[in-house]
């Protein structure tokens, strides 16, 4: 494979020898053995290494992981854009779930929102994740991957994914089971929204419980989000996915301006402040609501796994 061809597949960023060499992310144990404590009593975490305070034996499904919806979608104007920050900036801000949707195009994946290319290759996303996890090996990234604006057969989508895997295999955890945090540290845990991809099957109701309703009103959407928070905390076991995003508002930003402050208010108020194990909280423009990402982070138990 020529250097130009490899660069097209793996990303628009400059490829260094280290970038495509074996990934050396570690799995250090978290230094904690105390009992679970309520979120308001935990130390204020840093957004880059906040998972370091949580024990290895805690199942990932018992975490509260701030995430982004349409994580790579920053272009297209007010009616399309879902994020302001790059993938690298999101990870540094504390985001640990990425929703990546790609068009299969000439044996490469291009991040899309419907028909609109984001001028971002899947390899760029992986390079950002690799660099972050090298620098912060206590962390993990859960990634949903699905096809967008192409209709190639599942087997072809898998073939293209395998081209990326040739350069990034050590970066991924591709098991079909939900891991503990210790098993996930330093890795991208793949949530496979395609029948042929390896990883955790995204649509498996035995493993995941997903709220991605598109109700007619913003108020109805918020009620769905709050119900899912309560359900996740009350009925642990599955990995809960809660989309704090909607098309009911006319634009992603308008929806975020309504939903995000209400989520922060609920999670800091008397009815939500002690809830833990909220799962993946996928948001549009989470940085537009000050303290929102940190609020989700504070809804994690600290100490031994449960």
pLDDT tens sequence across 6-61: 454 666 543 333 333 333 333 322 333 333 444 554 455 589 999 999 999 999 99
Q: Which tens digits make up the pLDDT trace of 72-102?
A: 999 999 999 999 999 999 999 999 999 999 9
Fold for the domain defined by 50-297:
TIM Barrel (3.20.20)
Q: What is the pTM of this model?
A: 0.88
Q: Does the structure show a pLDDT above 80 at 259?
A: yes
| Number of other CB atoms surrounding residue 95 within 10 Å | 26
Q: Which tens digits make up the pLDDT trace of 203-254?
A: 999 999 999 999 999 999 999 999 999 999 999 999 999 999 999 998 999 9
pLDDT at 30: 31
Domain boundaries, the chain: 50-297
Confidence of residue 108 (pLDDT cuts 50, 70, 90): very high
Q: Does the structure show a pLDDT above 60 at 161?
A: yes
């Amino acid at each position: 494979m020529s250097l130009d061809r490899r660069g097209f597949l793996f990303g628009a960023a400059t490829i260094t020898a280290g970038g495509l060499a074996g990934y050396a992310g570690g799995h250090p144990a978290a230094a904690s053995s105390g009992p679970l404590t309520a979120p308001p009593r935990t130390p204020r975490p840093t957004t880059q290494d906040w998972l370091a305070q949580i024990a290895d034996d805690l199942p990932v499904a018992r975490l509260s992981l701030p995430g982004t919806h349409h994580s790579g979608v920053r272009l297209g104007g007010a009616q399309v854009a879902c994020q302001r920050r790059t993938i690298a900036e999101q990870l540094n801000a504390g985001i640990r779930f990425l929703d990546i949707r790609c068009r299969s195009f000439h044996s490469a994946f291009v991040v899309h929102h419907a028909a609109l290319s984001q001028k971002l290759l899947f390899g760029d996303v992986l390079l950002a994740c690799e660099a972050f996890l090298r620098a912060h090996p206590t962390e993990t990234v859960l990634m949903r991957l699905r096809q967008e604006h192409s209709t190639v057969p599942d087997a072809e989508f898998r073939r293209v994914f395998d081209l990326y895997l040739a350069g990034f295999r050590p970066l991924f955890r591709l098991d079909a089971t939900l891991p503990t945090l210790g098993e996930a540290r330093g890795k991208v845990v793949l949530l496979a929204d395609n029948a042929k991809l390896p990883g955790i099957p995204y649509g498996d109701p035995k493993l995941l419980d997903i709220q991605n309703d598109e109700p007619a009103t913003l108020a109805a959407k918020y009620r769905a989000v709050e119900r899912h928070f309560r359900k996740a905390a009350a009925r642990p076991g599955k990995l809960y996915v809660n989309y704090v995003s909607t098309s009911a508002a006319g634009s992603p930003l308008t929806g975020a301006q309504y939903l995000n402050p209400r989520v922060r208010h609920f999670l800091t108020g008397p009815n939500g402040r002690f809830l833990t194990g909220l799962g993946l909280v996928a948001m549009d423009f989470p940085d537009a609501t000050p303290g929102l990402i940190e609020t989700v982070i504070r809804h994690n138990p600290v100490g031994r796994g449960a």
